[in-house]
């Protein structure tokens, strides 16, 4: 097996922690000696032992003189757990191969440097792009202190998310909807606008048929605080909280009532149109350890985030349906651009099928 083969296995191990490690990254590690895998481990949950420590424990005495493949540079600082560099040095490993250097300013090359100073051979950059994609949310969060924003929409072949009457159930198929609930289980937060809340009275919980999922933190954009006190997002029981983001114009008595019912109300500065300022909101969500955020709003929310250049990734589910109608609701609302050349390009696309639907994943490329 090659370095790439061992690192691929480490990445597969890391992905087992998906949805459980936030605000930490997903990390996997493999210990190899004389061409044989003698230890494996991954970071299972925030606050628990890191991947390297688990892999070294699995290897036992065989770790001495071995090579350790790890998907992220070993940490060199004390946090909730001791530094992994210390464990690697004490285990007597000969070499450490990291996929990427840790973007965390507390580490940022210090881990590999400590290992090298201890006489351990170090290397980085093996399957670097794959490792960056695995932890794209963590990388954005740790370098900007803001969540990684994913915009998800389900639309017809003619780009509609609802008919002229507002009916939208169901555009995507059951397989796509299950995929989205799996996403909810893995991500920290889910955001909608008050328009979606008033129209659908959603729960925004995670519902998986084969297991109990983890509910994401629910965030509602509601600049005028119109959310009814008897709606699901206010009254339902969930281990995750509901946050309503509003402005200083909101009614103080309504704020008090919502807080009495367990809803957290964030007062965010308003933009030029009196709406919640989105960039200010993302900064506040970052302070709450919201590392990844799924936008599930309607056409106006999509337009607001996209044309504020705040979306990091898009997921478009395209159903093999045509509903037509000039008054049907398009996937992105607002004013749009004047010229096709000014449109947002989606790069690094991945296209797959889920049931009868087509899923397009990609990353917006903003102009100017």
Q: What is the pLDDT of residues 205-249, one digit of tens each?
A: 998 877 778 999 999 999 999 999 999 999 998 989 999 999 999
pLDDT of residue 79: 63
Q: What are the E-state strand segments in 216-308?
A: 217-221, 242-246, 264-267, 292-295
Q: What is the pLDDT of residues 174-208, one digit of tens each?
A: 999 999 999 999 999 999 999 999 989 999 999 88
Q: How far apart (Å, rounded) are the C-alpha atoms in residues 123 and 116?
A: 10
pLDDT of residue 83: 85
Angle at CA 108, nearest 5°, toward 367 and 101?
Answer: 75
Q: How far apart (Å, rounded) are the C-alpha atoms in residues 112 and 89?
A: 11
Mean pLDDT value across the chain: 93
The mean pLDDT of 286-312, rounded to a whole number, is 94
pLDDT at position 94 over 90:
yes
pLDDT at position 308 over 70:
yes
With a CB cutoff of 8 Å and minimum separation 6, the contacts of 224 are 194, 246, 249, 250
Active-site annotation holds for 128: no
Q: Which residue has the higher pLDDT, 64 or 76?
A: 64
pLDDT of residue 344: 93
Q: What are the E-state strand segments in 144-199?
A: 148-156, 160-162, 189-193
Contact 302, 154 (CB under 8 A): no
The mean pLDDT of 70-94, rounded to a whole number, is 86
Nearest partner of 70 among 5, 10, 22, judged by Cα = 10
For the question of whether the overall pTM of this predicted structure is more than 0.85, the answer is yes
Residues 52, 90, 133, 260: which is the catalytic one?
52
Of the options 3.40.140.10, 3.90.640.10, 3.40.50.1970, 3.40.50.1820, the CATH number for the domain spanning 3-134 = 3.40.140.10
Buried b (16+ CB within 10 A) or exposed e, 84-116: bbbbbbebebeebbbbbbbbbeebeebbbebbe
**Annotated binding-site ranges for substrate:** 184, 204, 207, 296
**Annotated binding-site ranges for NADP(+):** 154, 170, 196, 200, 223, 298-304
pLDDT cut 90: percent of the chain above it: 82
pLDDT at position 134 over 90:
yes
pLDDT at position 368 over 70:
no
Of the options 3.40.430.10, 3.40.50.720, 1.10.3720.10, 3.30.1370.60, the CATH number for the domain spanning 145-365 = 3.40.430.10
Q: What is the DSSP letter of 255?
A: H
Q: Which residue has the higher pLDDT, 78 or 11?
A: 11
The mean pLDDT of 66-74, rounded to a whole number, is 96
pLDDT of residue 137: 97
Q: How far apart (Å, rounded) are the C-alpha atoms in residues 113 and 110?
A: 5
Length of the chain: 368
Q: How far apart (Å, rounded) are the C-alpha atoms in residues 204 and 190?
A: 7
Residue ranges covered by each domain of the chain:
3-134, 145-365
pLDDT at position 367 over 90:
no
pLDDT of residue 158: 93
pLDDT of residue 320: 96
């Amino acid at each position: 097996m090659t370095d790439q083969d061992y690192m691929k296995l480490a990445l597969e191990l890391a992905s087992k922690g998906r949805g459980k490690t936030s605000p930490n990254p997903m990390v996997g590690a493999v210990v190899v000696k004389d061409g044989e895998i003698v230890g494996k481990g991954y970071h299972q949950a925030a606050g628990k032992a890191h991947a390297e420590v688990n892999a070294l424990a699995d290897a036992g005495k065989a770790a001495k003189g071995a090579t350790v493949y790890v998907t992220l540079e070993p940490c060199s600082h004390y946090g909730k757990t001791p530094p992994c560099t210390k464990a690697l040095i004490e285990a007597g490993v000969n070499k450490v191969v990291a996929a990427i250097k840790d973007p965390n300013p507390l580490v940022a090359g210090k881990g590999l440097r400590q290992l090298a100073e201890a006489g351990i051979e170090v290397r980085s950059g093996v399957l670097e792009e794959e490792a960056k994609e695995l932890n794209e949310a963590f990388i954005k969060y740790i370098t900007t202190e803001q969540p990684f924003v994913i915009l998800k929409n389900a639309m017809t072949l003619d780009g509609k998310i609802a008919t002229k009457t507002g009916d939208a159930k169901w555009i995507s198929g059951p397989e796509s909807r299950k995929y989205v609930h799996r996403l909810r289980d893995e991500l920290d937060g889910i955001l909608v606008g008050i328009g979606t809340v008033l129209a659908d009275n959603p729960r925004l919980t995670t519902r998986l048929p084969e297991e109990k999922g983890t509910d994401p933190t629910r965030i509602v954009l509601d600049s005028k605080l119109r959310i009814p006190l008897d709606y699901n997002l206010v009254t339902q029981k969930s281990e995750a909280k509901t946050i309503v983001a509003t402005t200083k114009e909101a009614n103080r008595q309504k704020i008090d009532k919502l807080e009495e019912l367990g809803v957290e109300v964030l007062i965010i500065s308003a933009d030029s149109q009196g709406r919640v300022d989105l960039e200010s909101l993302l900064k506040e969500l970052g302070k709450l350890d919201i590392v990844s955020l799924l936008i599930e709003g309607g056409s106006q929310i999509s337009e607001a985030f996209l044309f504020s250049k705040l979306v990091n990734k898009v997921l478009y589910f395209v159903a093999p349906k045509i509903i037509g109608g000039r008054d049907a609701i398009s996937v992105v609302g607002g004013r749009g651009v004047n010229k096709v050349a000014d449109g947002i390009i989606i790069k690094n696309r991945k296209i797959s099928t889920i049931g009868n639907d087509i899923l397009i994943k990609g990353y917006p490329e903003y102009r100017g």
